């Protein structure tokens, strides 16, 4: 009986833990997107100073937190190499290499890759406008996420605990 | 060819240039024109390049440059960032790493009477910058007197090496040697030809005591340098406008020495320009160095002092 109770307690504890982890991942995702938003502002600033993309990415990368620092640094290196790959493709490859296994969702990665379609052409003013628009979209996305965050976090935590409790009851 | 140069070109052209046995120091130009053969100027001679990298004297069998090739090359030259070269494109050239110059032509976009940009770029000319270290050795004793530098004007027709000579003069005056102390030199490099700056860093050796104000209008730049960097010598390329002459007067009144170049083939030639005539009459410059285009780049024809006395006469052709 003690063994059974211990097992059930462990299941409840594990499921509740899973809920807490999932909720923390949501928080982490929000923080990463917030960091990406900050970096977009820095990128816009670099472009105002007429920096070319490789230089701008390297400089912004120095001010970025992981995993964006390695991502931007590698992106800058690839752009400087001029290996014959178009910019949108390079951005997509580098984002899946450095950001895929983190907390960002598929949609977040697509949104980061979308930047490749906007950059590198037109004049400086157009580039700044593009980045501003991208930043605005990101802001809306973040604001939605922030609004939903407490509810979703609570839901994950509760689901985890209740799921564990349900399994425990089934095993009794 | 160096990797830094090869990577400027589209995959196809890169491949051809990679196959060709070209020595970087002998390569002067690579010309890309839409639907025209790939051309280079090598050792002063024009050649066409075939797909297998062979140099040909005739265009038959030469590799044809496509619009896609030009577009791809432009992406690499600008580091995927044409927007960052807006001002340079407006002027028709981009300076790249190594101090090399990429000339561009296509359809110009006007904003009133002013050129706003170039669209549909279809012609690219990559001109390689070559420093000739020590080419100013011969003129240095005329330009300096012990530790003093004299106001000097280098006069030459285009493509005769006046910028090359000025660059080496700057380097030697800045570095100094056993006989002469080095001087702080301020360079206003409006067209990025002297220092060949890339991201603010001179790609050519301009000496250890040299500050470069890159891509800055000459007149404004000279005043900025005087106010901020306290140079002993100021160097500028291709003077001629009213603003330049006015700034030159200020430079001279501030006690700075001036090294400058101007287009022309003789002192009489520059005296035909009213603004320059005035500074010749006022004996602003103490030395006039005339270059001779016929005998190769950087060859000195004559050196005059402010009174018009010939101090040096080059060998007749």
pLDDT value at residue A39:
95
pLDDT value at residue B298:
67
Taking an 8 Å cut-off on Cβ atoms, the answer to whether A81 and B7 are in contact is yes
Smallest Cα–Cα separation from B166: which of B232, B258, B240, B259?
Answer: B259
Taking an 8 Å cut-off on Cβ atoms, the answer to whether B79 and A127 are in contact is no
Residue-wise pLDDT for A7-31, tens only, equals: 888 888 898 888 888 888 889 999 9
Q: Does A57 touch chain B (CB under 8 A)?
A: no
Average pLDDT of chain A is 88
Residue from A53, A82, A83 whose CB has the most chain B CBs within 10 Å, to mutate: A82
pLDDT value at residue B212:
96
On chain B, the residues whose CB falls within 8 A of the CB of A47 are 83-84
Quickly name the fold that domain B140-313 has: Rossmann fold (3.40.50)
ipTM over 0.85: no
On chain B, the residues whose CB falls within 8 A of the CB of A76 are none
Spell out which chain B residues touch chain A, with contact meaning CB-CB distance below 8 angstroms: 7-8, 10-11, 14, 72, 75-76, 78-86, 117, 199
On chain A, the residues whose CB falls within 8 A of the CB of B8 are 82
- What string of DSSP letters covers A110-164? HHHHHHHHHSSSS-HHHHHHHHHHHHHHHHHHHHHHHHHHHHHHHHHHHHHHHHH
Residue-wise pLDDT for A84-106, tens only, equals: 788 888 999 999 899 887 788 88
Residue-wise pLDDT for A121-131, tens only, equals: 778 888 888 89
For domain B3-127, the question of CATH label 3.30.450 is answered with: yes
Q: Does A129 touch chain B (CB under 8 A)?
A: no
Among A47, A52, A123, whose Cβ lies nearest the Cβ of B78? A52
> For chain B, which residues make up each domain, given as ranges?
3-127, 140-313
On chain A, the residues whose CB falls within 8 A of the CB of B14 are 84
Which comes out higher in pLDDT, residue B317 or A71? Answer: A71
Which comes out higher in pLDDT, residue A1 or B137? Answer: B137
Taking an 8 Å cut-off on Cβ atoms, the answer to whether B84 and A51 are in contact is yes
Q: Does A4 touch chain B (CB under 8 A)?
A: no
pLDDT value at residue B82:
86
Residue-wise pLDDT for B206-218, tens only, equals: 999 999 999 889 9
On chain A, the residues whose CB falls within 8 A of the CB of B11 are 84
Residue of A nearest to B72 (CA): A84
pLDDT value at residue B293:
65
pLDDT value at residue B295:
64
The three-state secondary structure class of A43 is: helix
Q: Does A101 touch chain B (CB under 8 A)?
A: no
Taking an 8 Å cut-off on Cβ atoms, the answer to whether B117 and A55 are in contact is no
Low-confidence residues in chain B, pLDDT < 70 = 1, 293-298, 316-317
Edge-first strand order for the sheet with B55-56 is B55-56, B45-49, B39-42, B27-33, B114-127, B101-111, B93-95
Taking an 8 Å cut-off on Cβ atoms, the answer to whether A120 and B76 are in contact is no
Among B7, B10, B81, whose Cβ lies nearest the Cβ of A52? B81
- Average pLDDT estimate for A109-122: 84
Smallest Cα–Cα separation from B315: which of B303, B301, B298?
Answer: B301
């Amino acid at each position: 009986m003690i063994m059974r109770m211990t097992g059930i307690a462990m299941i409840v504890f594990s499921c509740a833990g899973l809920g807490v982890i999932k909720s923390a991942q949501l928080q982490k995702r929000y923080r990463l997107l917030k960091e990406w938003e900050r970096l977009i502002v820095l990128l816009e600033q670099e472009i105002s100073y007429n920096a070319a993309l490789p230089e701008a990415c390297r400089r912004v990368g120095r001010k970025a937190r992981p995993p964006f620092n390695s991502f931007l640094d590698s992106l800058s290196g690839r752009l400087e190499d001029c290996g014959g790959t178009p910019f949108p493709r390079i951005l997509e490859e580098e984002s899946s290499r450095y950001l895929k296994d983190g907390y960002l969702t598929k949609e977040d990665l697509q949104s980061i890759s979308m930047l490749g379609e906007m950059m590198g052409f037109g004049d400086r003013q157009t580039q700044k406008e593009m980045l501003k628009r991208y930043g605005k979209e990101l802001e809306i996305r973040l604001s939605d996420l922030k609004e939903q965050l407490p509810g979703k976090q609570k839901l994950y935590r509760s689901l985890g605990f209740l799921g564990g409790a349900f399994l425990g009851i089934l095993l009794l | 060819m160096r990797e830094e140069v090869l990577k400027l070109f589209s995959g196809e052209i890169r491949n051809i240039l990679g196959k060709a046995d070209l020595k970087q120091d002998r390569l002067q130009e690579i010309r890309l024109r839409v639907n025209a053969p790939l051309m280079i100027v090598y050792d002063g001679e024009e050649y066409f390049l075939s797909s297998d990298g062979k140099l040909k004297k005739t265009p038959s069998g030469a590799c044809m440059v496509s619009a896609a090739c030009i577009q791809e090359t432009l992406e690499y030259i600008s580091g995927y960032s044409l927007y960052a070269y807006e001002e340079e494109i407006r002027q028709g050239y981009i300076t790249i790493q190594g101090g090399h110059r990429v000339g561009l032509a296509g359809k110009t976009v006007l904003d009133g009477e002013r050129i706003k940009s170039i669209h549909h770029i279809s012609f690219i000319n990559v001109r390689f910058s070559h420093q000739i270290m020590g080419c100013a050795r011969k003129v240095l004793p005329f330009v300096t007197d012990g530790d003093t530098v004299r106001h000097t004007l280098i006069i030459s027709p285009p493509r005769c090496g006046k910028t090359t000579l000025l660059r080496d003069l700057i380097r030697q005056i800045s570095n100094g040697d056993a006989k002469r102390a080095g001087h702080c030199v301020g360079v206003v490099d409006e067209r990025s030809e002297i220092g060949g700056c890339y991201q603010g860093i001179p790609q050519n050796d301009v000496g250890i005591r040299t500050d470069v104000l890159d891509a800055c209008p000459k007149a404004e730049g000279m005043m900025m340098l005087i106010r901020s960097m306290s140079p002993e010598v100021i160097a500028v390329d291709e003077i001629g406008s009213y603003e330049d002459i006015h700034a030159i007067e200020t430079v001279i009144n501030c006690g700075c020495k001036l090294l400058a170049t101007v287009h022309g083939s003789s002192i009489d030639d520059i005296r035909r320009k009213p603004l320059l005539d005035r500074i010749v009459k006022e004996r602003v410059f103490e030395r006039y160095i005339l270059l001779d285009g016929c005998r190769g780049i950087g060859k000195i024809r004559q050196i005059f002092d402010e009174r018009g006395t010939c101090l040096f006469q080059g060998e007749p052709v």
